[in-house]
Amino acid sequence: QKELLQEFALKPAVTQDGFQVEIAANIGTPKEAVTALEEGAEGIGLYRTEFLFMNATAIPDEEEQYQAYKEVAVTMGERPVVIRTLDIGGDKDLPYLSLPEEMNPFLGYRAIRLCLDQLPILKTQLRAILRASVHGNLKVMFPMISNLQEWRQAKSIFDEVREELEREGVSFDSSIEVGIMIEVPSAALLADRFAKEVDFFSIGTNDLVQYTVAVDRMNEKVAHLYDYFHPSVIRLIKTVIEEAHKEGKWVGMCGGMAGDPLAAPLLIGLGLDEWSMDAGSVNKIKREISRLNREDCRKLTTHMLELDTNEEIREELKKILQN
Ligand code: PEP
Ligand code: MG
């Protein structure tokens, strides 16, 4: 059984009618990139850099960060690697930053909000990423963007850092892409505006779902309400993909939904370009995609968008899930 399952790991993910998508992996450490490759990942769709910061007693300096990002770049070679800037706060603490206690940490001082407030942290990280970019195919991604100002401010810091490196004569990949995570509903709803300015989107369903349906999935009293098949979530995903494609930009997904075979027909139908998941899911998702037909998925998706509840959508998807 294992042999049969792994059969798809090293093949591309192509539907019966020839639609190919990129299957990437999420990692938290440079070592995990090696496993990702072995499991058949075609890139890294999300490198959660916060683990580098969480496994330290002080903010890692530029050199230490550079070494980590370079290691991932070298491991992956020409394959794309999306490095997400520090996503701390929420449930992820950095004791040495002495972050304030908050009533609602997930609605508070986290991710890009913290980085735009503590610019030296962001600048050091962007310098390290840019320097490492000569060793592979790196891309930069900002987390928790909720309005255009935040994106523009982060992008201008990035441009400033680029210019600084140029002045210093330090080389970097000058065509490096810069994108944002779509994990806050306010950003999803403005996807048309963002799409004109960013190079790519990556949909973070873990946060997008909790913010859209107002549910803490760790709270067992309400966890049953947390579902990426909620019709509102699907509408948001549809909007994001459509608006990005109108501007010729690609869309990835790095939240848990991308690694769920049940969601595959829907995501193929919506036209998701890049799927990023735990390395252990790569083979089974490639297998599921290889059995699907894109035209059928499109029709199915049109039908599913007319359904009223997450249960109905799940039932429809279960009918076509291949065993
Ligand atoms: C997400 O929110 O879906 C995501 C990928 O980010 P994280 O899980 O690291 O918050
Ligand atoms: Mg998130």
Which ligand does the CA of 112 lie closest to? 2
Q: What pLDDT sits at residue 7?
A: 85
What percentage of the chain reaches a pLDDT higher than 70?
98
Which residues, in sequence order, are CB contacts of 37 under 8 Å at separation 6+? 75, 76
User: Using a 6 Å cutoff on CB, does residue 205 contact ligand 1?
Assistant: yes
Which of 261, 266, 289 shows the shortest CA–CA distance to 277? Answer: 261
**DSSP state, 101?**
P
> Which atom of ligand 1 lies closest to the CA of 208?
2
The pair phi, psi for residue 39, each rounded to 5°, is -85, 0
Is 3 a residue whose pLDDT tops 90? Answer: no
Q: Which ligand is nearest to the CA of 254?
A: 1
Report how far ligand 1's centroid is from the alpha carbon of 245 (Å): 22
Please state, in angstroms and as integers, the Cα–Cα distance from residue 236 to each residue in 185, 233, 269, 285, following that order: 7, 5, 14, 22
Is the minimum distance from the CB of 204 to ligand 1 under 6 angstroms? yes
The whole-number average pLDDT for the span 35-50 is 97
Neighbouring residues of 280: CB distance < 8 A, sequence distance ≥ 6: 39
pLDDT score of 10? 87
What does the mean pLDDT of the chain come to? 96
Q: Whose CA is nearest to atom 8 of ligand 1?
A: 206
Q: Which residue's CA lies nearest to atom 3 of ligand 1?
A: 204
Q: Which of 283, 253, 280, 279 is nearest to 268 (CA)?
A: 253
Q: Is the CB of 50 under 6 A from ligand 1?
A: no
Per the CB < 8 A criterion, the answer to whether 33 and 44 are in contact is yes
For ligand 1, whether the C-beta of 87 sits within 6 Å is yes
Q: Please report the pLDDT score of residue 140 as a whole number.
A: 99
Interface TM-score (ipTM) > 0.95: yes
CA-254 nearest atom, ligand 1: 5
Q: How far apart are CA 77 and CA 92, in angstroms?
A: 30
**Alpha-carbon span 250 to 273, nearest angstrom:** 6
Question: In this structure, what is the dihedral angle of CA atoms 266, 281, 248, 160, given to the nearest 10 degrees?
Answer: 140
Q: Is pLDDT of 27 > 80?
A: yes
Per-residue pLDDT for 321 more than 90?
A: no
For the chain, helix, strand, coil in percent to 5 are 55, 15, 35
- Residue 320: predicted pLDDT: 87
In short, whether 48's Cβ falls inside 6 Å of ligand 1 is yes
137 CB near ligand 1 (under 6 Å): no
Q: Whose CA is nearest to atom 9 of ligand 1?
A: 48
Nearest to 297 by CA among 253, 266, 262, 320: 266
Relative to the CA of 205, which ligand 1 atom is closest? 3
